[in-house]
Amino acid sequence: MDKNLKHHGLIQAFSRTNRVLNGTKPYGNILDFRQQQEAVDAAIALFSGEKSGPQAREIWLVDKAPVVIEKLQGAVQKLDAFMQSQGLDCAPEAVPNLKGDDARAAFINHFKEVQRLKTQLDQYTDLTDENAATIEQILPLANLLGFRGAYLETAQRLKAQQGKGTDQPAPDDVDQLDFEFVLFASALIDYDYIMGHIARFSNPTPGRRNMTHQELVGLIQSDAKFMNEREDIAAYIATLKAGAGLSETAIRDGYTRFKAEKDAAELAAIASQHHLATAALQTFVDGILQRMIFDAEHLSDLMAPLELGWRARTHAELALMADLHPLLTKRAGGRDISGLSAYEQ
């Protein structure tokens, strides 16, 4: 803010900072060059109705960084207490050992609050070195990334149970979970960023190698944007040798080939298992992903060469779709394929 404002003009200017740019901007950040604290207080009092005074400021403005840091410490302590109550250490590698969906749901809620506060702190531009050191002490970066990965794995598992309408519905704690994947997707960590780090991992000069193999995989697993592709990227990294000296272009081309070969092998295995021609199955899958529509008539055409009776063909179609459904869902990359829901398990 570089001009004097008051009342609705000031509130309108503040409100513009909270327009959502993407999932990583949950708060606005306002720099006031006119020292208008009194005008801010007056505007908040005017537009808060009965909720004036300190309570109104709590509603309109976020806390100062030290207060949020203290809240983060409390949230981490609650997460630690929960893990201890389950007989486990408060460590990312212990999360898969949680027993029962109720415990997994509790972990989701505890860590979501930790991440929400960490995301809020990431918006502050006035953090001191002391603040940063305190945050790192409360929640070391390696632990944060590890817990993010554990959260995404657990959330995917529980989310699959919601709204299925089966004879054994998800427990209430699971059914009511709100999964906030946007808190776990950083705009700074995109495909280019990952490929750049993989290239540096491959660089023959040790001093330029920013991340180890384990750190690279942890970074990918901690970001929601890579939920559908992280297994492929992690598997590709495992094929690379540190210090091999590959350029970023070679890394990108290599990953493209790796993924194409992996996808082709996966489809060929399904074709063989169901006694179908690989080329025919590939055409069938390509057609679905191009149109984002599942056509039952095309499925019948695909199965026709097997010359099965209607009962045997129905059984064969269901068996094939049990294998194809997760493949199509993954390759759709979060997009909805019309008609495919009929084959959900």
| Gyration radius of the chain's alpha carbons | 25
- Number of Cβ within a 10 Å radius of residue 170: 19
- Number of Cβ within a 10 Å radius of residue 160: 12
Given its phi and psi angles, is residue 138 left (phi above 0), alpha (psi -120 to 50 degrees) or beta? alpha
Note the pLDDT tens digit of each residue in 127-143.
Answer: 899 999 999 999 998 88
As a three-state string, the secondary structure of 130-195 is HHHHHHHHHCCHHHHHHHHHHHHHHHHHHHCCCCCCCCCCCCHHHHCCCCCHHHHCCCCCCHHHHH
Structure tokens at 27: 């708060």
Of the two residues 143 and 16, the one the predictor is more confident about is 143
**pLDDT attached to residue 6:** 84
Nearest alpha-carbon partner for 115 in 84, 89, 163, 149: 149
**pLDDT attached to residue 281:** 95
**pLDDT attached to residue 191:** 61
Note the pLDDT tens digit of each residue in 55-96.
Answer: 665 666 778 899 999 999 999 999 999 999 999 999 998 999
With a cut of 80, say whether residue 190 has pLDDT above it: no
CA distance 35 to 27: 21
Average pLDDT estimate for 197-209:
62
* Of the candidate ranges 47-56, 71-80, 89-98, 115-124, the one whose mean pLDDT is the lowest: 47-56
Q: Give the E-state strand segments of the chain in sequence order.
A: none
CA distance 282 to 76: 48
**pLDDT attached to residue 241:** 76
Q: Which residues pair with 338 in a beta bridge?
A: 293
Structure tokens at 171: 């427990």
Confidence of residue 208 (pLDDT cuts 50, 70, 90): very low
- Which residue bears the tokens 């519905």? 169
CA distance 52 to 47: 9
Q: What percent of the chain has pLDDT over 90?
A: 32
Q: One-letter amino acid identity for 98?
A: L
Highest mean pLDDT among 46-55, 141-150, 225-234: 141-150
With a cut of 70, say whether residue 272 has pLDDT above it: yes
SS3 state at 334: coil
Average pLDDT estimate for 169-176:
58
Confidence of residue 176 (pLDDT cuts 50, 70, 90): low
The answer to whether 337 and 328 are in contact (CB under 8 A) is: yes
CA distance from start to end of the chain: 54
The answer to whether 223 and 215 are in contact (CB under 8 A) is: no
The answer to whether 112 and 183 are in contact (CB under 8 A) is: yes
CA distance 248 to 194: 10
